[in-house]
Structure 1
Amino acid sequence: MRAARLHEYTDEMGDALSIDDVDRPEATEGDHVVVEIEGAGWCQTDNHVIEGMWEEQMNQSLPMTLGHENAGVVAETGEDVTVVSEGDAVLCHPAMTCGVCRGCRRGQDMHCENLVFPGLSTDGGFAEYLLTNERAVVPLPDGVDLTEIAPHADAGITAYHAVKKAARELNPGEHAVVVGVGGLGHIGLQALRAMSAAEITAVDVKDEALKLAHDLGAHHTLNSRDEDVADEVDALTDGSGVEQILDFVGADETLDYAPNLLAAGGDHHVVGYGGHVHEPAQALVNGDFDYRGTLVGTYPELQELVALVAAGDVELRTSRYELDEINDVAEELERGEIEGRAVITP
């Protein structure tokens, strides 16, 4: 089969991956599921994998097939699999988990002690077929566009996981700020509208992203290149601040928003990454606020997100590319030229 493989870490995206012929995976264990890929979303994390940012965290061995946002049709199952059968349409949770460690038993899939992460620690879905396991596959209803839904496997579930935490803290009429209305942020904004009665302000540096935010239901939009975000939020909230920040950028500048935007006791949810938190301890004490990290989400949360998608509450904006165009996608995302999510169709 054909697969997009990373052979060495590099900062040059234009020829980062090569299209190789490799053996098709087989279901060699009882819980294995082999999925014929219909769509595999490209994520900013894929750029970071290419750069070597995840080498130590995931103990990677190259060459490796990337791709961790995967959807397709079941091609083969192990002898113990009962949740799906050959021919079923599925969305794949990005993590293969064991189900018996403490993390799994507590329902914290991303903290599985035996976690395997296709596309980050083993071969992923930028290929014709993917090997995963029964605990990872979410059966999909008839009629779902498998290419369209693929990015929800990571982008969607990560955004939903952050919003679910924020929504628990938001009362009707309170305020939330969504920072970055890109591939994750436009999903998070829609989920926030569906799951809370908060007033939402979207912040971005691109006018086209802010137009998208308006179209998706943001009550206010701010271009942080042209406007002082703290002053504008102060005016919108009559000086009281916002209860929740959902930061889908995670740059130094956006991580500095917390002490200037949050009401006392608020939360700054860090979803995007790459920057650093540089706040004095006294700022956190005085504001009584929290920085809260976001690491993908749980299997049940992916099911819940699929329900929102089926109900029409969350719509994904995607652009589609052939496997041979994969390095073009890496370059375009690096330059910030992709709106919504790019999906590879092997």
Structure 2
Amino acid sequence: MAMSVERMRTAQLVEFNKPYQLCERPIPQCGNNDLLVQIHAAGYCHSDLQVFQGQFSKGGFPTKLPLIPSHEPAGIIAKVGASVKGPWKVGDRVGVLNFKKACGECVGCGQLLRRTKRTDPRFCRNREMAGFKDDGAFAQFMLADPATTVHLPESVSFEQGAPLMCAGATVWGALQKLKPEVQPGETVAIVGIGGLGQLGIQFAKAMGYKTIAIDNRPEGRLLATEVSSKLKPDLIIDSSSPDASEQILDYTSGEGLAGVVVCNDSIQSNSWSLQQLGNRGVMVPVGLPKDKWQFDSEALVFRELTIRGVYVSSAEDVEKMLEVVAVYGIESNVTRVDFDDIPGIVEKYTDKSMKGRLVVKIA
């Protein structure tokens, strides 16, 4: 497709549950406080599917159409706004998180200002959210907020870096939420081995946990084996097996799990996972089901269990995550998608044989 200098190729969601449309849009103008990023790779995750299906069309952050999807971008800085301060220059390799532009005035910003003396766009009630309600990364260029942009290590490719901006940042944050109750050397399970779960296994091992990978799909269990030998899970369990709970108890000498991170939105899976915790265990559910979670109140009370919410990690925590990624060589199983194939990406994502992460090659 021919393109003028002022315009860029992009894909748009024009109608919920209808294929994305390829089109041209003007290249966004870089404001004084912005970074203009040329996108090289952009990931596709379960939240993108939920946006596609209209799950977020109502509520606190409603999706408005047309929308450029994807919130997992990696690329290079093409322009730096005149008022931007910090270590940013044209040509820097970066990843961009999906929340940006804290207003500094809402209740969410005010709470954080009082506690930490700074704002955090993750909790700003007026924040922009790329790929959810504001334009995202299925485009040749996008605007980024320096406060939520991170440098990519040279050893991390754009195609590996893109999934780290959501899948990685989310499951890394979930594992941090197990602290301080769950200490290195204790047993942690990652339930649901897909784009998040495969990274979660590797992060958990790098953090010093004994790690169990759990999935009822053969594709998920296979994916759990396809990581670096030093980061492989200590045990892989089929959660649909009648003796799945017994396997966990055998491995933990009858104690149950110290912690569990659930990387799917199945209500049944989350309920089952809670039951695998030992006394004072910690569970972090990551998925967003359409309906309400349902947890056993007796298990919560009599075992003093903790269920802890998690959002995507802050930019500061993502920088720490990237250091671990570089040291341990942590990678996603990536299936590459050409830009012209974006209209069919939903079918590819929902195929039962799909495993790992879909990443669109933009440049």
TM-score, length-normalised on structure 2? 0.88
Q: Is residue 163 of structure 2 the alignment partner of residue 163 of structure 1? A: no
Which stretches in structure 2 are left out of the alignment for 5+ residues?
Answer: 1-7
- Residue 71 of structure 2 is matched in structure 1 by 68
2:284 and 2:100 mapped to 1: Cα distance? Answer: 25
- Please tell me whether residue 8 in structure 1 is matched to residue 15 in structure 2: yes
Residues of 1 paired with 2:145 and 2:274: CA distance?
Answer: 43
Q: CA offset at residue 226 of structure 1?
A: 3.1
- State the aligned residue count: 340
Q: Secondary structure at the match of 2:99?
A: coil
Are 1:72 and 1:146, in contact at CA under 8 Å, matched by a contact in 2?
yes
- For residues 45-194 of structure 1, the aligned pairs below 5 Å read 45-56=47-58, 57-83=60-86, 84-98=88-102, 100=104, 101-102=109-110, 105=113, 106=116, 108-142=120-154, 144-194=156-206
1:298 paired residue among 314, 330, 335: 314
Judging changes above 3 Å, is the alpha-carbon distance between structure 1 residues 69 and 208 closer, same or farther for their aligned structure 2 residues? same
Instruction: Supply the AA of the counterpart residue of 1:210.
Output: R
From 301, 314, 327, give the equivalent of 1:285: 301
Kept in 2, the 8 Å contact 1:201–1:221? The answer is: yes
Q: Which amino acid is 2:44 matched to?
A: W
**CA-to-partner distance for each residue in 1:154-191, whole Å, 9 max, x for gaps?**
11100100011225332344211110111000101111
Distance 1:97 1:229 in 2: 45
Q: Is the 8 A contact 1:26 1:76 kept in 2?
A: no
Distance 1:17 1:104, change over 3 A: farther
CA displacement 1:233-263 (0-9 Å, x = unmatched): 1222232111101100131221112442111
Alpha carbons of structure 1 residues 25 and 172: separation in structure 2 relative to 1, 3 Å:
closer
Task: Give the equivalent residue in structure 2 for 1:315.
Answer: 331
Quick one: structure 1 residues 264 and 230, their matched pair in 2 at CA, closer, same or farther if it must change by over 3 Å?
Answer: same
- Provide the C-alpha distance between the structure 2 equivalents of 1:160 and 1:124, rounded to a whole number of angstroms: 22
Aligned position for 1:24? 27
Q: Distance in 1 between matches of 2:312 and 2:78?
A: 26
Q: TM-score, normalised by structure 1?
A: 0.92
1:35 aligns with 2:17: no
> What is the distance in 2 between the residues matched to 1:129 and 1:288?
49
Partner secondary structure for residue 177 of structure 2? helix
> How many angstroms apart in 1 are the aligned matches of 2:201 and 2:163?
16
Which deviates more, 257-266 or 315-324?
Answer: 257-266
Instruction: Give the letter for the 1:314 counterpart.
Output: I
Which residue of 2 is the match for residue 199 of structure 1?
Answer: 210
In 2: Cα distance, 1:203 partner to 1:314 partner: 19
Q: 1:183 to 1:103 in 2, by over 3 A?
A: farther
Q: Using a 3 Å threshold, how does the CA distance of structure 1 residues 22 and 335 change in structure 2: closer, same or farther?
A: same
CA distance in 2, matches of 1:291, 1:322: 40
**CA 1:224–1:142: 2 relative to 1, 3 Å:** closer
Contact 1:103 1:112 in 2 (8 A): no
1:221 alignment counterpart: 236
How far residue 95 of structure 1 moved from its aligned partner, in angstroms, is 1.0
Match of 2:288 in 1: 273
Q: What percent identity do the matched residue pairs reach?
A: 26
Of the structure 1 ranges 268-277 and 62-71, higher mean CA displacement relative to structure 2 is found in: 268-277
Contact 2:103–2:126 (Cα < 8 Å) also in 1: no
For 2:69 and 2:274, the matched residues in 1 are separated by 38
* In 2: Cα distance, 1:122 partner to 1:239 partner: 48
In structure 2, what is the Cα distance between the partners aligned to 1:280 and 1:87? 52
Give the structure 2 partner of residue 236 of structure 1: 251
Change (3 A) 1:80 1:151: same
Describe the SS at the equivalent of 1:158.
helix
Pairwise CA distance, 1:280 = 4.3
Deviation for aligned residue 1:102: 2.7
1:313 positional shift? 4.3
Distance in 2 (alpha carbons) for counterparts of 1:227 and 1:129: 50
Stretch moving more, 179-188 or 288-297: 288-297
